[in-house]
Chains A and B, each alone.
Chain A
């Protein structure tokens, strides 16, 4: 459209102008292709991997039971990844989520001796406080998010160990408490954690795409200074972002505890890396400013489907899985960086 107008203004396109517009058109097409791959790539790979899995393993993989299992396994990572998506779009990073999940699980099991209310309120209150600390230190004090959340990673894990007698005590949740239903109950055949995670994705999607808050998060990730100059409440929005991330990790920990009727202080190690990987695979840029919740959903499901398939093979060691996920993350990030550079050209 622009190119056409310019051509008219110049009273007949000259050959070099024509060549230039061709180049521009090609660059444009390449940019929109790159954008499409970045947006929908995870979904595409997910579809391909799922179909391949069904073809190779048949009903061992593609049974309703197994697919529901994958959904349930995805729900805990999913909750954490929703929060991480906002933090990364907002230009930050939250490394404390894995430790917070463990802390929440331990506190939920510990709090369950005071009934269902204690089992829910205690972990969420503590995780909320730590999330608030993350938020205030990064947003108000202007400290680097990765070092703040690295420190709270250490702190939360320390607290989880302190509560559980250096990990020697594993608190159990009474099977008769209502809180157990959060982990083990089901509604219309779908387990509660899956429903909770689904709700989190829905709310996250609405907030990110349909509210002023979501727009502000993207603006801050794009350019914090510009967002501030436009009068956006940068500090408040960022604080809320870390608070939400910590609370979602807390909810995930609570669900894990309810699912396993106990709280263990050693779970969730490296979960932050999985969450970051899921977010990045879903097309959210690590540089902040743009991304999508639906992409994150595809990323989470993709990671879990791959995990499930590796388990179906059954001969690969956990160490190889570690190598594969590290390499996978790096490949995705390299491709993402390449694609976003294509768009800018």
Chain B
């Protein structure tokens, strides 16, 4: 059981690819591969930030609303140039992270409640910013980011891989990464060991929000539209699932980057499989719910062992 929990996500990925190779026509084409690797990007980026948060034994439910805020800010500042718009969108997201992090690190509110408040409030704020409307975004640079390729690889995929590389290095090679894992493993002990707990927690939630905002920008670029009432809806659930399925326990103390990416891809392919075999959206949700429960259940077995 422990071995399955550790490697299960890769086995699952292999199984779903094998299934599709046999049963889904036009699965093994370059276009389809490109599509899957593009569609997975927002969840993958958000999940990488979520992995850090979960590593500290926390949770960030506000990521979808942060995406909405970033998405709403892009068209508002596009007039000042695309660079300014992207920077403002990411800074705006980071501010939500500062609020999250301060509530959790300094006021010591439980992460689930603090980020729940922001989930509601930030989505409302995004809708206020966009006046509740969908705005089409016309900008050559954004379009290029959203649907361009470099050496045949979609740019958004390159962005996601770069983020994964950076987060991976941060977790493995830096003191900050050690602090994150230490806090999740044993908060009291890390205080005694001199880990700057509040500062680290604040940084983790800011980082998670920055990545969510980046995902919001990517999504806006890809859709060539900003739709704050829909962008990032329920993405917190997909991201948490990707992280947990990827082998990062909800009890903290450990962060798995490759597993998280594989978890995100697994979910992407499950969704794509269900759609290409004409299952409806409602059925997809129910299947996803069952998979989440199964994944967390298997995790629990390892936690107990």
At the interface, is chain A mostly helix, strand, loop or mixed?
A: helix
Binds B, one of A25-33, A169-177, A194-202, A318-326: A318-326
Q: Point out the residues of chain B lying under 8 angstroms from A287, CB to CB.
A: 110
Q: Which residue of B lies closest to A269 (CB)?
A: B233
What is the CA–CA distance of A143 and B297 in the complex, to the nearest angstrom?
A: 7
Confirm or deny: A337 has a beta carbon within 8 angstroms of a beta carbon on chain B: yes
Binds B, one of A77-85, A150-158, A212-220, A254-262: A150-158
A93→B117 contact, CB < 8 A: no
B117→A151 contact, CB < 8 A: no
A143→B296 contact, CB < 8 A: yes
Confirm or deny: A146 has a beta carbon within 8 angstroms of a beta carbon on chain B: yes
What is the CA–CA distance of A150 and B116 in the complex, to the nearest angstrom?
A: 13
A166→B282 contact, CB < 8 A: yes
Q: Point out the residues of chain A lying under 8 angstroms from B282, CB to CB.
A: 158-162, 166
Distance (Å) between the CB of A281 and the closest chain B CB?
A: 12
A158→B296 contact, CB < 8 A: no
Q: Which of B251-265 contact A (CB under 8 A)?
A: none
Using a Cβ–Cβ cut-off of 8 Å, how many residues does chain A contribute to the interface with B? 43
A325→B120 contact, CB < 8 A: yes
Q: Of A143, A150, A154, A321, which one neighbours B124 at CB under 8 angstroms?
A: A321
A319→B112 contact, CB < 8 A: no
Q: Of B103, B120, B237, B290, which one neighbours A273 at CB under 8 angstroms?
A: B120
Confirm or deny: A44 has a beta carbon within 8 angstroms of a beta carbon on chain B: no
B118→A158 contact, CB < 8 A: no
What is the CA–CA distance of A159 and B113 in the complex, to the nearest angstrom?
A: 27
What mask results when residues 18 to 52 of chain A are scored 1 for a CB within 8 Å of chain B, else 0? 00000000000000000000000000000000000
Confirm or deny: A137 has a beta carbon within 8 angstroms of a beta carbon on chain B: yes
Q: Point out the residues of chain B lying under 8 angstroms from A323, CB to CB.
A: 121, 124-125, 128
Confirm or deny: B107 has a beta carbon within 8 angstroms of a beta carbon on chain A: yes
What mask results when residues 45 to 83 of chain B are scored 1 for a CB within 8 Å of chain A, else 0? 000000000000001000000000000000000000000
Residues of B within 8 A of A (CB): 59, 103, 107-110, 112-114, 116-125, 127-128, 132, 234, 237, 240, 244, 250, 280-286, 288-290, 292-293, 296-297, 300, 304
Q: Which 10 A-B pairs have the closest CB atoms?
A: A326-B121, A322-B124, A158-B285, A161-B282, A155-B289, A326-B120, A162-B282, A323-B124, A330-B117, A158-B286
What are 16 inter-chain pairs, A to B, with CB distance below 8 A?
Answer: A143-B297, A143-B300, A144-B250, A146-B112, A150-B237, A154-B237, A155-B289, A166-B281, A321-B124, A322-B127, A323-B121, A325-B120, A326-B121, A333-B114, A333-B117, A334-B103
